[in-house]
Amino acid sequence: MKLVRHSLYNLFGLGLPLAVAVFCIPVLIRELGEARFGLLTLIWAVVSYFGLFDLGLGRALTQLLAVAMAENDEKGIGSLVATATALMAGLGIFAGLLMALLAPWGVGMIQSVPDQQESVNAVLLMALAMPAIVLTSGFRGVLEARHAFGIINAIRLPMGLFTFLGPVAVVLYGSTRLDMVTGVLAAGRIVACAVHARYAWRVLPDDHGRLALRKTLLRPLCVSGGWLTLSNIISPFMGYVDRFIIGGVVSATAVAHYTTPQEIITKLWIVPGALTAVLFPAFAADVTKQDGKTRPLFAKAVHWLFLTLFPITLFLALFAQEILTVWVGSEFALQSAMLMQIFAAGILVNCLAHVPFTLIQGAGKPQITALIHCIELPFFLLAIWGLTSKYGVLGAALAWFIRMVVDTLLMFVLCNSLQGWSQRVLISPRIVSYTMLVAIAFSGIFFNEFFLRAVWVLTISIVSAMILFKQEFAKKLPKLGAE
């Protein structure tokens, strides 16, 4: 139950700000104007990218701390935290300086900037906050290693809301200057870092040892963090390169038809994201202890994730036309509905890959996931270019779907090999029956009648709930009755 509770904390902390963004973004566009809002989104993107300058050290720190606590090496925790924090502070300062130096050049590359100096000032203010942004991931890593997900989301939720509500407050009651808006955002990031630091210190064990720098810890932190960074760079690149290829091969309009349904569907990644943030330190500790808990936890996570996302993705696929019509209009929906159906099926498959991906990294083998992404990259580029050239946006969606399936299979196969588990589990009766259930369920896209599709989704949802109840709860009823 702790796994479910912590995952729900994460889901709430990640999901509620997205819901608030739906209402805040139109206000920002209206008050700032399209040009300034466009610059604001670019600054957000640049800050996110420069956030990679933590070089994966936040997650590497989580993994090493979880292992240290599993081995009861509490006296070494102080030096591990101090070394990682010092390293990340240095990287954050470097990232901030680089961002500041590139600010005039970067702003100058953008066409039709309303006020160039205002925009440069905005970037400089965010550069000032970069050390805090990078350090925050380290302090969050400490909290995750201690399973303090309630604290993490008690901080994440208000800060996530502030990311959108802060700028809205500025433009409505202060100024529409971009540097004023980003100044408030930068201040918020610095405050968030300070709060994370305070609570990270509080959750450390009493006997954590001296907060001293140790050179011997630099190598394991940098090696693990480096491989994690490689995955963090390549995976997002594959997530966005299809849009640029469509724009070059087809048209800008086609990009809109492609990205609109994709943006809806890929938001579902927050569900496995919420779960795997909890699983990562748990897997790291269980693999170290070798107490036989890893496999049951792995199987339960995959099972719950599948049965949670299956009805949701089925609904999005069967009612893609109606959803897009309400949101963006009937003409747009005609071009994008089939793409949304493909994306829905692909995201159901790939969300499951987050579990083996997390176990591989939690076991201290981030090089495996990084190498998988390195191997996938050239093949995906060839597939997306070839299929888009021949079939347009439909070909691009098919290439994306194929990558989702291949990535998932590779993650499960290599995870099983790493753990010494039999590969025959991938063709077990349960997996085969679930695959058939998905194929039958998604065949409902061919039903024309709205009522028939509604009944179909409801029926499949009831079947999924019954399976979940039977597998997870029914076996506990006799014990409860005996009590």
Rounded average pLDDT per 10-residue block, the chain, 483 residues: 69 77 77 73 65 65 77 75 86 87 78 74 88 88 83 86 87 84 89 92 75 70 67 74 79 75 82 83 77 82 88 92 83 87 93 91 82 90 92 92 94 89 80 86 89 90 77 49 38
Q: In terms of Cα–Cα distance, which of 405, 398, 409, 269 is closest to 341? A: 398
Q: How far is CA 335 from the centre of its chain?
A: 28
d(CA 235, CA 369): 10
Kindly state whether residues 310 and 266 are assigned to the same domain. Answer: yes
How far is Cα 348 from Cα 316, in angstroms, rounded to an integer?
11
Q: Where do runs of H (alpha helix) occur along 33-148?
A: 34-50, 57-70, 77-108, 116-128, 130-145
Residues 179 and 224 in one domain: no
Question: Cα 312 vs. chain centroid, distance in angstroms?
Answer: 18
Note whether 376 and 236 are same-domain residues. Answer: yes
343 Cβ contact list (under 8 Å, min separation 6)? 261, 262, 264, 265, 266, 397, 400, 401
Give the C-alpha separation, 333 to 448, whole Å: 15
* Alpha-carbon distances of 32 from 43, 114, 122, 174, rounded to whole Å: 14, 11, 14, 12
Report the alpha-carbon distance of residue 37 to residue 20 in Å, rounded.
17
Verify that 200 and 72 share a domain, yes or no.
Answer: yes
User: Looking at the structure, do residues 238 and 274 belong to the same domain, yes or no?
Assistant: yes
Considering 213, 239, 256, which residue would you say is the last residue of a domain? Answer: 213
205 torsion bin: left (phi>0), alpha (psi -120 to 50), beta (else) = beta
Q: Which domain holds residue 12?
A: 1-213
Specify whether the CB–CB gap between 387 and 396 falls below 8 A. yes
Whether residues 22 and 135 share a domain: the answer is yes
User: What length is written for the chain?
Assistant: 483
Per-residue confidence (pLDDT) for residue 1, from 0 to 100: 57
Does 399 lie in the same domain as 328?
Answer: yes
Give the whole-angstrom CA distance, residue 6 versus residue 277: 9
What pLDDT is recorded for position 178? Answer: 81
Q: How high is the pLDDT of residue 469? A: 67
| Residue corresponding to tokens 């963004």 | 21
Backbone angles phi, psi at 214, to 5 degrees: -130, 120
Distances (CA, A) of 214 to 61, 63, 220, 354: 14, 18, 11, 33
The token duo for 195 is 């709060």
Question: Same domain for 441 and 417?
Answer: yes
Residue 185 and residue 53 in one domain: yes
CB distance 236 to 373 below 8 Å: no
Shared-domain flag, residues 251 and 368? yes
Task: Identify the pLDDT of residue 342.
Answer: 94
Asked if residue 222 and residue 208 are part of one domain, the reply reads no
Q: Are residues 411 and 383 in the same domain?
A: yes
The count of C-alpha atoms lying within 13 angstroms of the C-alpha of 182, restricted to the half-sphere facing its C-beta, is 27
164: part of which helix (H) or strand (E)? helix 149-173
Number of domains in the chain: 2
CA–CA distance, 107 with 118 (Å, rounded to integer): 10
**Which residue stretches of 267-362 are H helix?**
270-289, 294-318, 320-328, 330-362
Question: How many CB atoms are closer than 10 A to CB 329?
Answer: 10
Rounded to the nearest 5 degrees, what angle is found at the Cα of 146, between the Cα atoms of 142 and 151? 80
Output the CA–CA distances (angstroms, integers) from residue 219 to 226, 326, 360, in the order listed.
Answer: 10, 53, 20
What is the pTM for the complete model shown? 0.74
Q: Which of 213, 245, 274 is the last residue of a domain?
A: 213
Domain boundary among 173, 195, 213: 213
